[in-house]
């Protein structure tokens, strides 16, 4: 018996699919003119077993990020923190940040 462990990160980091894949650029997915091959980006899987909470999770994260961006100034606590991949990418020190509430 064999098991296959497919890591989506390999596809997500493919320079043939996503130019400059290591750069954080959410705008790469915006606009009608942006078209990617099917299954080239699948954070919630795909096909008949796609996560039913996909859209809810997306909207929830967008709302939280909007609130944090509008109401806080962010500063890194570890500048130039390296990214570790084992097997998925994550900041080596957990990406500690300081949030400073903006005065309104």
Binding residues for heme: 51
Give the distance from CA 78 to its chain's centroid.
Answer: 20
Pick out the residues of the known binding site. 51
């Amino acid at each position: 018996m064999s098991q296959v462990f497919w890591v989506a990160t390999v596809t997500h980091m493919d320079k043939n699919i996503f130019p400059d894949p290591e750069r954080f650029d959410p705008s790469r997915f915006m606009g009608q003119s942006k078209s990617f091959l099917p299954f080239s980006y699948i954070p919630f899987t795909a096909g008949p077993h796609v996560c039913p909470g996909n859209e809810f999770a997306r909207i929830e994260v967008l709302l939280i990020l909007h609130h944090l961006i509008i109401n806080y100034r962010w500063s890194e606590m570890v500048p130039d923190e390296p990214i570790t991949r084992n097997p998925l990418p994550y900041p080596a020190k957990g990406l500690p940040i300081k949030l400073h509430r903006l005065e309104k």
